[in-house]
């Protein structure tokens, strides 16, 4: 009896939920190889060259640039069939280069959507009610009045969502439970689709001018880099709150600092940074009205378990010839199947 060829999956030693390793261990015909990021270059390259799937970290600062999935690396990996990101984002993957190489790209969009949505509302509450600011003040000084830390309610405020995909849609639902009015700008969706997600569709200029809170929920793409710059911050309402739990690079950090320092904006909740973690002397971290997180909005026990399970199951599906549920470049799937079949024949 001819046994089906073993499919080898490569990943670096970033933290993964144990469910991923267990899923591969429980599935005949699959091997998971975990390699240290500080292993010798040739050792890593040799392991990658023998792999059919590359489970790649989504966070840019978790991965040396030379191991990002781009043309330079893919040219050295003729056997690689698919790249699977740890989360919804794929900042460490050049999708165009993968498509040209016939490499299928998978992500885990939706796995951490609830976690990020909850963190987004947490940052809104923190900024408007000045929770972290009150905590810091209480720990280091006395002689202040409670009114010095007076905040505002979420109730009856206008929330503007820039992007209303899986995360933005969940934020809209939770925000409406707080009694907020939700508007949204998303050029990738028809107005009727935005309305179905519980938000009033508007153009970006109107959103910035009328929102008490502006929250970003869009991907990091060429057209969204520095989407929120000095001009856009100037268009926001006096005293408005800015939230970014999406991706670093979507807002100009210096421009945001200037808008906060000049008291045009009332506060900001930032989970994502140009450099992660940001340096200790980062200007934004010197401001009392900034609440900063270390890209942890989506880092919960529940989200990480879903990520590990979804990623392993999807890799098993596609390397078994079945369509993945979250294919980033589905147009390459027919060519991927041809390469998969050729790889199976070559190992028999």
Vertex 227: Cα angle to 327 and 114 (nearest 5): 50
Given the residues 68, 295, 306, 339, the one annotated as active site: 295
Given the residues 8, 220, 276, 335, the one annotated as active site: 276
Given the residues 52, 237, 247, 251, the one annotated as active site: 247
51 exposure class (CB count in 10 Å sphere: 0-12, 13-18, 19+): buried
* Selection from 239, 192, 247 nearest residue 211 by Cα: 239
Please say if 8 is a catalytic residue: no
Please say if 129 is a catalytic residue: no
C-beta separation of 145 from 174 below 8 A: no
DSSP letter string, 184-220: EE-TTS-HHHHHHTT-EE--HHHHHHH-SEEEE----
Q: Give CA separation, 95 vs 15, 60, 100, 102, 105, in Å.
A: 24, 15, 9, 10, 7
Name 25's Cβ contacts closer than 8 Å, sequence gap at least 6.
Answer: 32
**Residue in the block written with tokens 């600062």:** 61
C-beta separation of 86 from 307 below 8 A: yes
Alpha-carbon distance of 261 to 284, in angstroms, equals 9
Please say if 247 is a catalytic residue: yes
Name 194's Cβ contacts closer than 8 Å, sequence gap at least 6.
Answer: 164, 184, 186, 200, 201
Q: Give CA separation, 67 vs 14, 48, 251, in Å.
A: 13, 10, 26
C-beta separation of 202 from 184 below 8 A: yes
List, by residue number, the catalytic residues: 247, 276, 295
């Amino acid at each position: 009896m001819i046994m089906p060829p073993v499919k080898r999956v490569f990943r670096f030693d970033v933290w993964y939920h144990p469910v991923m390793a267990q899923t591969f261990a429980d599935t005949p015909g699959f091997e998971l190889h975990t390699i240290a990021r500080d292993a010798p270059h040739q050792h890593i390259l040799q392991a990658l060259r023998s792999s059919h799937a590359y489970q790649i970290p989504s966070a840019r600062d978790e991965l040396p640039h030379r191991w990002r999935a781009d043309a330079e690396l893919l040219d050295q990996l003729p056997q690689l069939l698919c790249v699977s990101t740890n989360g919804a984002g794929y900042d460490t993957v050049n999708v165009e280069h993968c498509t040209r190489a016939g490499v299928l790209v998978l992500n885990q969009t939706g796995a951490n959507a609830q976690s990020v949505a909850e963190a987004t509302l947490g940052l809104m509450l923190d900024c408007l009610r000045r929770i972290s600011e009150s905590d810091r003040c209480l720990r280091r000084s006395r002689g202040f009045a409670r009114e010095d830390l007076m905040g505002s309610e979420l109730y009856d405020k206008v929330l503007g969502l820039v992007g209303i995909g899986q995360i933005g849609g969940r934020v809209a639902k939770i925000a409406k439970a707080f009694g907020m009015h939700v508007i949204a700008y998303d050029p990738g969706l028809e107005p009727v689709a935005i309305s179905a997600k519980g938000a009033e569709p508007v153009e970006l200029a109107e959103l910035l001018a009328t929102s008490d809170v502006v929250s970003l929920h869009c991907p990091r793409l060429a057209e969204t880099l520095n989407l929120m710059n000095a001009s856009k911050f100037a268009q926001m309402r006096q005293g408005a709150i800015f939230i970014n739990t999406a991706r670093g690079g979507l807002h100009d950090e210096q421009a945001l600092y200037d808008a906060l320092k000049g008291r045009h904006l009332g506060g900001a909740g930032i989970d994502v940074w140009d450099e992660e973690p940001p340096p200790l002397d980062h200007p934004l971290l010197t401001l009392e009205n900034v609440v900063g997180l270390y890209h942890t909005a989506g880092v919960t026990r529940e989200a990480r378990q879903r990520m590990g399970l979804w990623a392993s199951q999807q890799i098993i599906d596609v390397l078994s010839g079945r369509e993945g549920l979250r294919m980033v470049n589905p147009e390459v799937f027919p060519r991927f199947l041809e390469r998969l079949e050729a790889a199976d024949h070559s190992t028999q």
